[in-house]
Amino acid sequence: METEWPGRWDHIQKILLRTGPFAHPSFEPSPDVLSFLKETCKILVIGAGGLGCELLKDLALMGFRDIHVIDMDTIDVSNLNRQFLFRAKDVGKAKADVAASFINTRSDYNVTLTSQVNFPLCTIAHTPRLPEHCIEFVRILLWPKEEPFGAGIAIDGDDPNHIKWILEKSQERASQYNISGVNYRLTQGVVKRIMPAVASTNAVISVYAIRFSCCLPLNNYMNFNDTKGVYTYTFEAEKSEGCLACSDRPQVLNFTETDKLQDIINHLQENATYQMKSPGVTTSMDGKNKTLYMQTVKSIEEKTRENLKKSLKELGLMDKQELYVADVTTPNTLTFQLQLGTKMENS
């Protein structure tokens, strides 16, 4: 098949020879980029399944010529409904070989897009030949006639009772015409249009995967104001290194060896940053967890109450030791690091 013709690269040139508002910051438009795509660039696609088939098609249509695909699996009948590079004659063959062959031998012809397949009503009602005909008969004709779950109740493809009723009626219809193959999975697939939905979802996901590799998505947040004209502004919400909710860095607690555990509890409750209500404090000593104080569990509170009067030295706490604090005000346990100094230093 001829691989070059007038205008072959016109659309790609519009992307590669000029920049745009959504282009990646590191992108520099140049004829060299097109030359790299055509002559040098190598693409490796790992997996030729549902998404892999779509990606191979997208990459080939975008102009990439040196595409490699790896897949250790073979083609199964169940793959044919969503992995469009394969046909029934390919069952049992290696996915990678068939996918590569299909892309290399694709025909150059105009494609006609057809709508969702609907069976003729006369076939469904009078001469059913397929299990799908029986299911469609129940879905289209029998359901509105019998209204099995009440007047005006539409079919819910996610309701097992609805699917079960349609299945039973479809099997009765199929037995009248000696048709086999009506089962729960097929019934749900016909009612919910699962097969075309899966293929369409794979196609959309593959396009988005390529899209986000070509340009940056909108940064985090956008403000929109139309009270006086239209005003928009986007900004990136940066992560705070000291965030109590998501930071992995321990918070520092400055105390002395003579300070009591009660002083730490008071600090956690009164400090404007923490504002805890009933903090429970644990630590790790000699590789074992040790509960210093826990107010929320009555039996543990009684056993650890005396620790409140003890100094940090008496409790065996040392400089740089980590304390783990749980409280109702935060969903996660917070990690603190003791920084023990003198009264003069902390003042």
265 within 8 A of 318, measured Cβ to Cβ: no
Please give the angle made by the CA atoms of 259, 260 and 265, to the nearest 5 degrees: 115
Nearest alpha carbon to residue 143 among 163, 123, 126, 127: 163
Cβ contacts of residue 233 below 8 Å, gap of 6+?
222, 223
Element spanning 126, H or E: helix 121-126
Among 69, 176, 183, 98, residue whose Cα is nearest residue 135? 183
* DSSP string across 50-62: HHHHHHHHHHHHH
230-232-237 Cα angle (round to 5): 160
The contacts of residue 307 (CB under 8 Å, 6+ apart) are 261, 292, 293, 315
> CA 319 to CA 252: how far, in whole Å?
11
Q: 98-102, long-range: CB within 8 Å, 24+ apart, which pairs?
A: 98/48, 99/48, 99/52, 99/53, 99/56, 99/69, 99/71, 100/69
Residue of 62, 63, 27, 59 lying closest to 44 (CA atoms): 59
Of 244, 246, 283, the C-alpha closest to 264 is: 283
Annotated catalytic sites, by residue?
122
d(CA 45, CA 129): 41
Distance between start and end Cα atoms, the chain: 83
Sign of CA dihedral 283, 285, 289, 294: negative
Contact 326, 279 (CB under 8 A): yes
